[in-house]
């Protein structure tokens, strides 16, 4: 696999030079900034990413004020204890997308966020998670949260400002071209190979996962 500098050069040539490329790279939040994000914003973003999966993102964005109102600003304690009557009301609420299975994740993920309070809170847990084991964080969300496997988890974390990689079509294409994987990384073995490659590129460049991921995507 190529050194990161070579990949950066490839992307820079495609995007108008090093300065233009640098301007396209995200800056993740610090651990302290992530820890300071209120619980309700984590629950809101998890929910948004879950509903955007397999659906038109613009439709979800347009309906989002309705989601915020229906779930009381995603107050975690209130969402965790929604009763049957309140949930049934959601199923007939035209202000939200009335997908019962996805609506149910709000309750489950509110409970998951409550569970992390014993570990200092979701923002602290995620903010302190080592970038060198990002796949471990994805695994935590997949196993303990609801419907936060794969891309939904990765996009949620990126949108919240977490240093992260997203295995988009372009990133996957670059990883295949570099011989890191030979097909989309769905197995644990492939995911470990991806993490190892990102760790090598972090060591080489001094950059984080988000910027490396973006460079890979823009190199294709």
pLDDT, tens only, 114-132: 999 999 999 999 999 999 9
Q: Would the pLDDT of 150 be above 90?
A: no
Percentage above 70 pLDDT, the chain: 100
Q: For 14-24, what is the mean pLDDT?
A: 98
**Angle at CA 25, nearest 5°, toward 33 and 167?**
90
- Residue 93 CA, chain-centre distance (Å), reads 27
The pLDDT, as a whole number, for residue 77 is 98
Classify residue 203 by burial, with Cβ atoms within 10 Å: 0-12, 13-18, 19+. Answer: exposed
Query: How many domains are contained in the chain?
Result: 2
Cβ atoms of 146 and 113 closer than 8 Å: no
Q: Are residues 79 and 17 both part of a single domain?
A: no
Which residue range forms the structural domain that includes residue 213? Answer: 4-28+165-218
Query: In degrees rounded to 5, what are phi and psi of residue 180?
Result: -70, -45
Residue 54: predicted pLDDT: 87
For residue 24, the model assigns a pLDDT of: 98
pLDDT, tens digit (0-9, with 9 covering 90-100), for 24-33: 999 999 999 9
| pLDDT > 90? residue 55 | no
pLDDT digits over 153-163, tens only? 999 999 999 99
Q: Output the pLDDT for position 125.
A: 98
**Mean pLDDT score, 15-35:** 98
Is there a single domain that holds both residue 37 and residue 68? yes
3-state secondary structure of 158: helix
What does pLDDT average to over the chain? 97
37 and 123, same structural domain? yes
Report which DSSP code applies to 156.
H
Point out the domain boundary residue: 111, 127, 143.
127
Task: Report how far residue 137's alpha carbon sits from residue 22's, in angstroms, rounded to the nearest whole number.
Answer: 27
Distance CA 108, CA 104 (A): 7
CATH of the domain at 79: 1.10.340.30
pLDDT of residue 201: 98
pLDDT band for 66, please (50, 70, 90 cuts). very high
Whether 36 and 123 map to the same domain: the answer is yes
pLDDT at 94 over 90: yes
* 70 and 101 part of one domain: yes
Average pLDDT over residues 126-145: 98
Q: Which residues contact 24 (CB under 8 A, 6 or more apart)?
A: 15, 214, 218
The predicted model gives 88-96 an average pLDDT of 97
Say if residue 101 is in the same domain as residue 23: no
Please check whether residues 190 and 208 belong to one and the same domain: yes
Residue 107 pLDDT more than 90? Answer: yes
């Amino acid at each position: 696999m190529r050194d990161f500098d070579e990949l950066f050069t490839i992307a820079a040539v495609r995007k108008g030079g090093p300065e233009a490329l640098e301007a396209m790279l995200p800056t993740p939040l610090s651990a302290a900034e992530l820890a300071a994000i209120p619980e309700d914003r984590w629950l809101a973003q998890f929910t948004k990413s879950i509903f955007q999966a397999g659906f038109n993102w613009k439709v979800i964005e347009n309906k989002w004020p309705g989601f915020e109102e229906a779930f009381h600003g995603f107050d975690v304690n209130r969402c965790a204890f929604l009763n049957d009557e309140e949930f049934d009301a959601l199923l007939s609420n035209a202000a939200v997308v009335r997908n019962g299975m996805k609506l149910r994740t709000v309750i489950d993920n509110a409970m998951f966020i409550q569970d992390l309070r014993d570990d200092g809170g979701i923002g602290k847990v995620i903010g302190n998670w080592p970038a060198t084991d990002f796949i471990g964080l994805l695994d935590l969300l997949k196993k303990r949260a609801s419907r936060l496997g794969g891309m939904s988890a990765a996009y949620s974390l990126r949108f919240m400002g977490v240093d992260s990689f997203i295995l988009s079509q372009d990133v996957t294409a670059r990883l295949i071209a570099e011989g890191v994987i030979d097909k989309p990384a769905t197995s644990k073995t492939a995911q470990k190979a991806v993490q190892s490659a990102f760790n090598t590129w972090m060591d080489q460049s001094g950059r984080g996962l988000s910027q490396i991921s973006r460079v890979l995507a823009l190199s294709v």
